[in-house]
Amino acid sequence: MKIVVTGANGYVGTRLITIGDKHGHVIVVASRQPPIIQENLWIPFDIYKANLIELPSGTDAIVHLAANTLLANNTDKKSEINAAVNLIKAAKEVGAKFIFVSSQTARSDAPTAYGRTKWRIEQEVLSAGGWVVRPGQVYGGELRGLFGTLVSTVRRLPLLPAFIPAPKVQPIHVDDLAEGLLRIAERGDVPPDVYCLAAVAPVSFSILLDTIAKSRLRCWRGFLPVPVLVINALTFILGEKFRTRLGLERLQSLFNLPVMETRPDLNQLGLELRPLRSGMHPSGNDRRRRLLREGQAMLGYILKERPGSAVLRRYIRVIEQLRGGQALDLPKLFLGYPIFLSLLDESSWTNKITSAEYLWRLDAATVLAEATPVGAYRFLGRGHGVLYSLFSMTHAVLCEVCWRISRMLFSPLVRLTLSQEKGIL
Amino acid sequence: MIPDFDVIIVGSGPAGVSAAFPLVEAGLKVLMVDGGKRPDIQPPEMDFLSARINDAEQWKWMVGKDFHALKMRDAVSPKLRVPSHAFAFDGFERSNKIEGKDFISVGSLATGGLSNSWGCGVARFSATEIAKFPFSASELELSYRRVSQRMGISGRANDDLSDYFGLDEDAQPAIPMDMLHTHLSQHYLNHRKKLNSQGFRLGRSRVAVLSEDMSGRQACNLSGNCLWGCQRHSLYSAVDDLPELYKYENFTKISGFVVDDLTRCDRYWSVSGQNTLSNERKTITANKVVLAAGTLATTRIVLKALDYRDTVPVLSCPTAAFLLWLPRLLGAPRLPGFGLGQLSFALALYDNITAFGSTFATTGIPLSEFARHVPLRRRYSIDLLRGLLSSCVVGNIFLPGHLTVAGAKLGRDESLVISGKYDDKVMPLMNEAAKKVRKAYWRLGGMLLPGSFTVGRPGGDIHYAGTLPMRESSVVGETSPLGEVKGMDGVYVVDGACLPVLPEKSHTLTIMANADRIGRQLVVLKI
């Protein structure tokens, strides 16, 4: 398909181009500046120069991402609406689908001009038979857009505000959003309408910040409770000028975010969103991280000490090269305290395949752990004399007995924990 | 038409080189072809224990850069998991279209064949065993001596197995035993009479490993790297014979040539096959063809050329393995030592059947190989074994090859399918063997660890033989006393395929001696 993307150099736009290319589409970039990715066709487009834009012939769809997030004055609003109207016309001329990326804040009575403008454009799009997408809180990938601002804020501040009552956001990974937009463009069975794309269950804003800290920045941040009432009072006391300058309006719009019902729309597009924690990882998923934790647990269990990084990397490569690369997703108890792996054996799992996979990985961890200098001490011993050997053998047998008893006692519990884990278990 | 060569030898393993020497020495124009696989992993540079403690990159030879050891997790023998042996087995079944059904089929496309990876066990067949060959024992006598002297054998000892092995006149002194085996052999001397009366005889293992330097190869220095690759070439491999052959101008070798067809053209034979690297087909002609591709590959070449669709028998020794604990030596230090058979035993079982076995040190074998089989949680099985294994030896045991009832058959797609199972007698025999081994070693201060006596799967011995046995008067599917295939004049089988019997003892030396015998007789026949 030939898809024109406005605002293609932006946060969502760059990902849309990359993923669109992967889907095998011809992406035409419509932007002020020539595209970052040189291979794509470029047509100049600026929302403030509202001259009629001519779309290339054979355009199948246009995704309108270009927007001004600040909207300083009325002229700005007007030209933004104007640009959209012109684009809708151009799309009609070539018979292309028009897909407009709006905002969760779009409402006729939104606290920000941004939200109100989006709502106005939405009306134009819908009346012209186009598609509207309202994304939730977009995150992940490059540090751009509001997400970039949030990450740099978390990086800078040692203490973060925890608003009370906590506002709720519905995150969506930038790649999942791009995928959703492409599905609307590609599929014929998606009727023109407003589509809300975001996590089904809202998470509190503090959790979002905390996840940024932990998964993206790998740091710890404290939280300072800030009552929303105080912010509201400030907004009321300070005039409009100060409100805008301090960004209090944007905070207001955060507090007033309507909860979107996203399940039907996600189902309609067949879109499955990645969990926040895996999407927040710099790579866009935390597959490797989960493998790393599994490797730490397995090797740690064998070696009785923290495994070195080289052998850990080897474990990950083994699973990636020979076993499909997905972690078993062992419950936290086992990841944190590898000694509890002693509770697991063939009968702990409900299905044989997983049980066999666990045993395979345990064998792999044994072989890898042994083939290290640390493993040489652990596995070979060096002949410590009769008493030491006798003691260590008796100790091993006694431990075995204890774990067998514990396994019997905790068997139902272990089975329950394992069956609740997702992943490939 | 003049053929390209006088003789083409297919295969460069122990049989191929043994047949080559007499032919080449007589001035015949000889071509040797083989699959040409070469080792691609360097063996450890230090002795095993030092390498384990110091070499941060030990995983490269223990596990393999491509994680060979893990890919081969379910293979029958630890040897098949060793990365430096991977080349020896690589691609054999695929290239040769050989398939085992409930039967382990292993072969080699490597230069030097399976001798790159063997246990170095050597023995002469007894007079009774040779009586089943269609020629007199004296015909093999000279050949036994020639090959023994060429390959270098150690283990000379005046002990209870001297007659059983029959090799002492050409053997170097034995390689020093470790503490555990010394303990066992000392106890044996005290209980010899009693044990002999129970049918148990113990002696030094005779192995094709140097205890004294010989023709460019160095004597064993007890590095313990036997399983991982010996830098000193103390362990015999047929590859070590090639430099000597290259000295002859009338000897040519082509590597990476996997033979798949033999056709009669005029009065000659043309051998065609695939170059494994370029995938180019090549056809070469010769007066005679000597097949030494290894029992299974040779069998397929012959059956295909004959278009023989019946099943031919496969001899293969039933095996078992066990772990023996010497409580008196509990806590013994881990010391470098010889990694192959140190002591061997012959054990008389009912029905006049003899079992043969050897015991090995555990130090050079990864502990993970044992830990998998201990019925304890992994963490504690490692704890247990680390205390236990330094006072343990591992043993293996072989029964005669006729106790595996197996056959090879050429399928419609020209692949050779091997299938088979153990004879019904095997389990009772193994039970008896386990009982007798337990009893005998108990006297020697060793305890057979409960549950450790494990019977292997059919074909797991990798001693295949007897598919095209030599007979006085052969029919189709058999060979003449010279190994000449019935129905294919001028094609000779010199590897395990032509042995009419496969006793429990190591058969490599006999294959080599027989190949030498056939080679010498071909010279006498003035081809």
- Domain count along chain B: 1
In angstroms, what separates the C-alpha of A356 from chain B's closest C-alpha?
Answer: 12
Q: How far is B190 from chain A (nearest CA, A)?
A: 25
Six token digits for residue B284: 């070469």
- Residue A419: the pLDDT is 77
Residues of B in contact with A397 (CB under 8 A): 376, 380, 384
Of B70, B363, B377, the CB nearest to A342: B377
CB contact under 8 A, A389 and B381: no
pLDDT given for residue A354 in this prediction: 86
- Residue B347's pLDDT is 97
> Which of B378, B390, B449 should one mutate to test binding to chain A, selecting the residue with the greatest count of A CBs within 10 A?
B378
The residue segments making up the domain with residue B422 are 5-524
Least confident stretch, A351-365, A376-390, B40-54, B56-70: A376-390
Q: Do B59 and A371 touch (CB under 8 A)?
A: yes
Strand partners, B8: B31, B289
Put simply, the answer to whether A396 touches B390 (Cβ < 8 Å) is no
Determine contact: B227 vs chain A, CB below 8 A.
no
CA distance B121 to B176: 16
CA distance B13 to chain A (A): 32
pLDDT digits (tens, 9 = 90+) for B375-413: 999 999 999 999 999 999 999 999 999 999 999 999 989
Identify the CATH number of the domain in which residue B60 sits: 3.50.50.60
Whether the per-residue pLDDT at B242 is higher than 80: the answer is yes
- List of chain A residues whose C-beta atoms are within 8 Å of the C-beta of residue B363: 380
Query: Which chain A residues are closer than 8 Å to B334 by Cβ?
Result: 380-383
pLDDT at B306 > cutoff 50: yes
- Chain A residue numbers with beta carbons less than 8 Å from the beta carbon of B330 are 386, 389-390
Alpha helices in A96-189 (DSSP H): 113-127, 145-156, 174-186
B interface mutation test: which of A304, A339, A379, A395 has the most B CBs within 10 A?
A379
Per-residue confidence band for B505, with pLDDT thresholds at 50, 70 and 90? very high
Q: In sequence order, which residues have a C-beta less than 8 Å from that of residue B163 and are 6 or more positions away?
A: none
Q: Are A392 and B387 in contact (CB < 8 Å)? A: yes
User: What would the pLDDT profile of B115-150 be if each residue is shown by its tens digit?
Assistant: 999 999 999 999 999 999 999 999 999 999 999 999
Q: What are the structure tokens assigned to B489, written together?
A: 């004049």
Cβ–Cβ gap B62/A339 under 8 Å:
no
For B124, list phi and psi in degrees, rounded to 5: -90, 150
In this prediction the pTM is 0.81
Q: Do B331 and A387 lie within an 8 Å CB cutoff?
A: yes
What pLDDT does residue A38 have?
66
CB A396 to CB B384 under 8 A? yes
What is the per-residue pLDDT for A425?
40
Contact B386 A372 (CB under 8 A): no
CA distance B370 to chain A (A): 11
Strands B447-448 and B319-325: antiparallel
* Closest in B53, B54, B386 to A392, CB measured: B386
Q: Do B52 and A376 touch (CB under 8 A)?
A: yes
d(CA A106, CA A118) in angstroms, rounded, equals: 5
CB contact under 8 A, A400 and B330: no
Q: What is the dihedral of CA A314, A315, A316, A317, to 10 degrees?
A: 50
CB–CB contact A403 B377 (8 Å): yes
Closest by CA to B32, choosing from B227, B188, B233, B242, is B242
Convert B282-302 to b/e letters by CB count within 10 Å (16 or more is b). eebbbbbbbbbbbbbbbbbbb
CB contact under 8 A, B390 and A368: no
- In DSSP notation, A213-264 reads IIIIS----EEEEEEHHHHHHHHHHS-HHHHHHHTHHHHHHHHTPPPP--HH
- Compute the average pLDDT of residues B281-285: 92
In this complex, do A381 and B387 lie within 8 Å of one another by their Cβ atoms? Answer: yes
Residue B196 CA to residue B177 CA, distance in Å, equals: 22
Do the Cβ atoms of B401 and B501 come closer than 8 Å? yes
- Pseudo-torsion of CA A331, A337, A343, A348, nearest 10°? 10
The residue among A321, A377, A400, A408 with the most chain B CBs within 10 A of its CB, best to mutate, is A400
Cβ–Cβ gap A379/B384 under 8 Å = no
Question: Residue A48: what pLDDT?
Answer: 75
- Count Cβ atoms within 10 A of the Cβ of residue B131 and give its class: 0-12 exposed, 13-18 middle, 19 or more buried: exposed
Task: Give the integer Cα–Cα distance in Å for B223 and B212.
Answer: 15
Q: Three-class SS string for B224-283?
A: CCCCCCCCCCCECCHHHHHHHHHCCCCEEEEECEEEEEEEEECCEEEEEEEECCCCCEEE
Nearest chain A residue to B366 by CA distance is A370
Alpha-carbon Rg for chain B in angstroms: 22
pLDDT above 90 (res B527): no
DSSP B28-81: --EEEEE--B---SPPPSS-HHHHHHH-TTTHHHHT-TT-HHHHTTT-SSHHHH
Tokens, residue B506: 């190591």
CB contact under 8 A, A362 and B378: yes
Residue boundaries of the structural domains of chain A: 2-278, 287-420
- Tokens read off for B283: 């056809």
B447 pLDDT exceeds 90?
Answer: yes
Asked if A389 and B391 come within 8 Å (Cβ–Cβ), the reply is yes
What pLDDT shows up at residue A423?
46
pLDDT for residue A291: 93
**Chain segment B110-122, per-residue pLDDT in tens:** 999 999 999 999 9
Shortest Cα distance, chain A CAs vs residue B56, angstroms:
6
Segments of chain A scoring below 50 in pLDDT = 423-425
Residues of A in contact with B367 (CB under 8 A): 370, 379-380
Per the listing, tokens 């023709």 go with: B215
Instruction: Give B366 to chain A, closest Cα distance, Å.
Output: 8
B202-223: pLDDT as tens digits: 999 999 999 999 989 999 999 9
**Helix orientation angle between A11-22 and A174-186, rounded to the nearest 10 degrees:** 60
Q: Which of A370, A373, A381 sits opposite B390 (nearest CB)?
A: A381
- Neighboring chain B residues of A345 at a CB cutoff of 8 Å: 377
Tell me whether B382 touches chain A (CB under 8 Å).
yes
Select the more confidently predicted residue: B498 or A68: B498
| Model pLDDT for residues B343-367, shown as the tens digit of each residue | 999 999 998 999 999 999 999 999 9
The neighbouring-strand residues paired with B345 are B202, B357
Tell me, what's the pLDDT at B500? 97
CB-based contact A98:A60 (threshold 8 Å): no
**Domain A2-278 class, CATH top level:** alpha beta
How many interchain CB pairs under 8 A, A with B?
135
User: Which residues contact residue B190 at a Cβ distance below 8 angstroms, ignoring those fewer than 6 apart?
Assistant: none
What residue type is A376 in one-letter code? A
Q: Pick from B25, B22, B58, B23: which is nearest to B43 by CA?
A: B58
Q: Which of A370, A377, A390 is facing B330, going by the closest CB pair?
A: A390
Coil, strand or helix: which one is A42? strand
**Which of A346, A380, A406 is the best substitution to test chain B (most B C-beta atoms within 10 A)?**
A380
Nearest-CB residue to A382 (from B73, B333, B372)? B333
A241: left (phi over 0), alpha (psi -120 to 50) or beta: alpha
Residues 6+ apart with CB under 8 A from B488: B262, B264, B302, B305, B306
| A309 burial via Cβ count (<10 Å: 0-12, 13-18, 19+) | exposed
Chain B contact set for A395 (CB, 8 A): 383
B122 part of contact set with chain A, CB < 8 Å: no
Alpha helix locations (H) across A337-384?
352-370, 373-380
Chain A residues with beta carbon closer than 8 angstroms to that of B73: 360, 363-364
Question: What per-residue confidence (pLDDT) applies to B41?
Answer: 84
Triad B233, B234, B235: Cα angle to 5°: 90
Contact residues, chain B, for A377 at CB < 8 Å:
53
pLDDT on residue B1: 74
Which sign does the torsion angle of CA A119, A124, A129, A131 carry? negative
Q: How far apart are alpha carbons A168 and A161 in whole angstroms?
A: 14
Q: Scan residues 43-82 of B and list those with Cβ closer than 8 Å to A.
A: 49, 52-56, 58-59, 62-63, 66-67, 69-71, 73
